[in-house]
Structure 1
Amino acid sequence: MGNQPSVPQPGTPLQVIGAGLSRTGTASFSEALRILLHGPVYHGGTQLTLAASSEIRPLMDIVSRFPPQNASEKKLIGNLLKQRLDGYAAVTDAPFNGLIEELVEAYPNAMVICTTRDAESWVKSMKSIQNAVTMGFLRFILFPIPGMRHFPDFVDLMRKQWWYLYEAGEPLVAETYYKHIDYLKRVVPEDRLAFVDVKGGWGPLCKALGKEVPRDVEFPRINDSQAIDRLAKRMVQEGLKRWSIGFATVGVVLMSYVFWK
């Protein structure tokens, strides 16, 4: 998850499809792409949670149509993806890392890059996300927040997407990670697919894209775990705050009604 949402720049062609799973350095990868491609990058987690409240509904519409049942439905998903990604130089993170086949067809000139990490450490890292999104009271807490009130439903759609692609339930296991790699090798032409570990810095990424290493620019290092923890706390606090204001308002109205009755 990045630090702030991106704003599209009309006319910017999409050049890179980020195929790495969440918690494989996608936030650092997204920032690095922004620097290399000189354009905004659509990082799914960041845009869903920090951008305008209207952002989540179109993505829910796209994921709800997955998997496409025929060529016509696949084309429709591709068109919806183009609408959502218009003006971005690259796209990364969920739910797009589960829509790679559709993205590859929609953007025939884009390079597909999968960020990688050790499978077992990925499983451990994903636990923090799973714990955050499976809290029983999350749906109630987030309801007063525009956009975020739909987040639990979006997570449910993501679970269905993952089950279809990897037969993955919860808790996640290392096999899920490897199934994702197999999925990419199956749907992406070999000459358009590269695997990059962000720990390697600029070198591997620039090689994959045929770009020169930026001079005097450090490779971005964004801590996804800390960002998610901060976001979860902020959303819970905001939800509770809005509920308290709502209850207080109702209380005032009821007292006024009793007083003036």
Structure 2
Amino acid sequence: MGQQASIPQPGAQIRVIGAGLPRTGTTSFSQALEILLNGPVYHCGTQISRGPTTEITNWMPILRSRLNPNQDASSRKTMLSLLHRRLAGYVAITDSPGSELVPELMELYPDAKVVCTTRDPVLWETSMLRVQSLTGVWFARAVLLPLEGLRHFIPYGHLLAELWERLYGGVAGQHGRETYASHVAWLKEVVPEDRLVFYDVKDGWTPLCEALGVEVPVGVPFPRINDSEAIERSIQHHLWRGLKRWACIFAVVGVGVTAFRMWR
């Protein structure tokens, strides 16, 4: 995990549903869970941006079904089946869109604990607006087009933005402390009190281990990863890949045009 996509482990099943929004220490939380639960964690942001194309394309029908106002029992069953298949082989799921699919995940995994990572809402707002400014610019989207997996990021992003608007209100791409408060209130409505834990990664191992009923790892430091820096590095990585791909495309086109002129 971290800046590499996790590989599913046969037989592993979701034991923790990470309900915290992005920018609440979900990367550190994910690595901590991998240590405590001894298995791979599905951190949605990392899997979608660093995994194979199927990671992002398989989420899109799930989100479309979730957003369908006319969803019936049959289509819901199909959506749950797709979600279950996507998470097969993982011991936990963290980050968005998992944090917006908590009711569905609780239905699929009735024994899983729901843990919402928390952060000061003002600091969260600052971090989110920074990330939104990086991912929302038009040239970033254009640069991603030649990349096989991330060219799907634009329609995927529209679906995720619509889901956030449905749940939290507000304007697409402009989510601040009100969104944070709405998410916490929503969790308290949909998750039974005895199943919901709020946890700040700054508190380290002890409260998390107590919530999960496991021993504190001896001699193992708690993972400390800056989510904002991680996502900025990821964005820069993919922008550079996209620019290099565009350079190759223009070079090939240039050679083709030159050859055509020579042989006219």
Fold conserved between structures, TM > 0.5: yes
Q: Is the 8 A contact 2:129 2:176 kept in 1?
A: no
Pairing 1:227–2:230 present: yes
Q: Is the 8 A contact 1:133 1:155 kept in 2?
A: no
Q: Give 3-state SS (helix, strand or coil) of 1:163's partner.
A: helix
Letter of the 2:186 partner, please give it.
Y
Report matched runs for 1:109-120 at 5 Å.
Answer: 109-120=111-122
Task: Give the equivalent residue in structure 1 for 2:182.
Answer: 179
Measure how far apart 1:253 and its partner are. Answer: 1.2
Report matched runs for 1:1-261 at 5 Å.
Answer: 2-67=2-67, 69-169=71-171, 170-261=173-264
Measure how far apart 1:72 and its partner are. Answer: 3.1
The CA distance in 1 between the partners of 2:3 and 2:239, in whole Å, is 19
Q: Give 3-state SS (helix, strand or coil) of 2:67's partner.
A: coil
Q: Is the 8 A contact 1:31 1:220 kept in 2?
A: yes
Q: Is the 8 A contact 2:128 2:176 kept in 1?
A: no
1:27-49: CA deviations, max 9, x gaps?
00000000000000000000011
Letter of the 2:118 partner, please give it.
T
Q: Give 3-state SS (helix, strand or coil) of 2:138's partner.
A: coil
Q: Give 3-state SS (helix, strand or coil) of 1:218's partner.
A: coil
The CA distance in 2 between the partners of 1:234 and 1:36, in whole Å, is 30
Using the size of structure 1 for normalisation, the TM-score is 0.96
Measure how far apart 1:53 and its partner are. Answer: 2.2
Using the size of structure 2 for normalisation, the TM-score is 0.95
The CA distance in 2 between the partners of 1:150 and 1:141, in whole Å, is 12
Q: Is the 8 A contact 2:5 2:46 kept in 1?
A: yes
Unaligned runs of 5+ in 1: none
Unaligned runs of 5+ in 2: none
Measure how far apart 1:199 and its partner are. Answer: 0.4
1:180-226: CA deviations, max 9, x gaps?
01111111122211111100000110011011100000000011111
Letter of the 1:47 partner, please give it.
Q
How many residue pairs get matched?
A: 261
The CA distance in 2 between the partners of 1:76 and 1:113, in whole Å, is 26
The CA distance in 2 between the partners of 1:4 and 1:150, in whole Å, is 19
